[in-house]
């Protein structure tokens, strides 16, 4: 019995457009509710959300047999964290703040077992192998790992062509918020200069044959990104959807006398 087939890896390789939700509420119960929306994928954010390995593992536990594929974003490119993420059962990883081909190559090596990589062997303890229930896990795991690296700075864009040459790298995600900050437009990912840079990068990634990724909550920009070749498309963030809906509901019933609350 081999490692579980990574459906999202296959879909991205086939050029399918997929839509997903960022999960930043960092809670398995809320992740289970999000799964009922049946997005193509759900991304567990280990970079900006209050997640740790146990909360990430608990969310994978409730999502792993659900309708959505699971993506786990690491806080950085630390090989030890990549190892832990894979061992708790994530098969699609998003690694932020990649600025060179060498850095992307190191992240890829951390995803694969020797001799092709540096991933430490601990599958007997790991959900990834179904706790050693998958006898051939070590020999079949690598083929099902999907690595997406984030390019989100001018230095990363300058290295993009070299990054796109990396064999075995599945996708490159352009981070509009951090790119905006690096371009001098902190807090304004919708700035025309930023949007142009994002769309041009998505076109370059798509032309390379790798999958292009992006996150936006603006339906018009989402359409523009898809037309530019984005196939891994984040279309919302659970935290902002939740917070906005609650504020709207409260405001509807808050009378004017309390409006200063």
Ligand X SMILES: O=C(O)C(=O)C[C@H](O)[C@@H](O)CO
Task: Return residues touching ligand X (CB under 6 A).
Answer: 48, 150, 152, 175-178, 215, 237
Distances 223 to 50, 127, 193, 202, 227 between C-alpha atoms, Å: 30, 37, 18, 12, 6
Distance in Å, CB of 154 to ligand X, minimum: 13
Distance in Å, CB of 104 to ligand X, minimum: 16
The nearer residue to ligand X, 128 or 199, going by C-beta atoms, is 199
Q: What is the C-alpha separation between 74 and 47, in angstroms, rounded?
A: 6
Quick one: which H or E segment has residue 84? helix 79-87
Distance in Å, CB of 193 to ligand X, minimum: 15
The nearer residue to ligand X, 63 or 94, going by C-beta atoms, is 94
Q: Which long-range contacts (CB under 8 A, 24 or more apart) does 33-36 make?
A: 34/68, 34/238, 35/62, 35/63, 35/66, 35/67, 35/68
Could you tell me whether strands 211-215 and 41-45 are parallel, antiparallel, or unpaired per DSSP bridges? unpaired
Q: What is the C-alpha separation between 214 and 225, in angstroms, rounded?
A: 8
191 assigned to active site? no
Residue, CB closest to ligand X? 175
Choose the catalytic residue: 19, 48, 185, 191: 48
CB 124 within 8 A of CB 72: no
The nearer residue to ligand X, 12 or 179, going by C-beta atoms, is 179
The nearer residue to ligand X, 17 or 177, going by C-beta atoms, is 177
Distance in Å, CB of 187 to ligand X, minimum: 10
Handedness of CA 178, 37, 245, 44 (dihedral sign): negative
Q: What is the C-alpha separation between 134 and 124, in angstroms, rounded?
A: 9
Distance in Å, CB of 176 to ligand X, minimum: 4
The nearer residue to ligand X, 142 or 200, going by C-beta atoms, is 200
- Residues with catalytic roles: 48
């Amino acid at each position: 019995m081999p490692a579980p087939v990574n459906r999202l890896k296959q879909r991205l390789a086939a050029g399918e457009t997929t839509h997903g939700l960022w999960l930043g509420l960092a809670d398995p119960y809320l992740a289970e509710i999000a799964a009922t929306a049946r997005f193509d994928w759900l991304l567990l954010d280990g970079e900006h959300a209050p997640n740790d390995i146990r909360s990430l593992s608990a969310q994978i536990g409730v999502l792993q047999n659900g309708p959505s594929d699971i993506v786990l974003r690491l806080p950085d490119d630390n090989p030890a964290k990549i190892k832990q993420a894979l061992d708790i059962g994530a098969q699609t990883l998003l690694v932020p703040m990649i600025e060179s081909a060498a850095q992307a190559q190191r992240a890829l090596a951390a995803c694969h077992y020797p001799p092709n990589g540096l991933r430490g062997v601990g599958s007997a303890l790991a959900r990834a192998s179904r706790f050693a229930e998958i006898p051939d896990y070590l020999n079949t795991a690598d083929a099902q790992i999907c690595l997406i690296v984030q390019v989100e700075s001018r230095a990363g864009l300058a290295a993009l062509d070299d990054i796109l040459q990396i064999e075995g790298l599945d996708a490159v995600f352009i981070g509009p918020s951090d790119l905006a900050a690096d371009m001098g437009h902190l807090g304004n990912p919708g700035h025309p200069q930023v949007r142009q840079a994002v769309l041009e990068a998505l076109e370059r990634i798509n032309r390379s044959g790798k999958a292009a990724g992006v996150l936006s909550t603006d339906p018009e920009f989402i359409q523009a990104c898809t037309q530019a070749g984005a196939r891994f498309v984040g279309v919302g963030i659970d935290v902002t959807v939740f917070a906005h809906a609650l504020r709207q509901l409260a405001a509807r019933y808050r009378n004017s006398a309390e409006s200063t609350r």
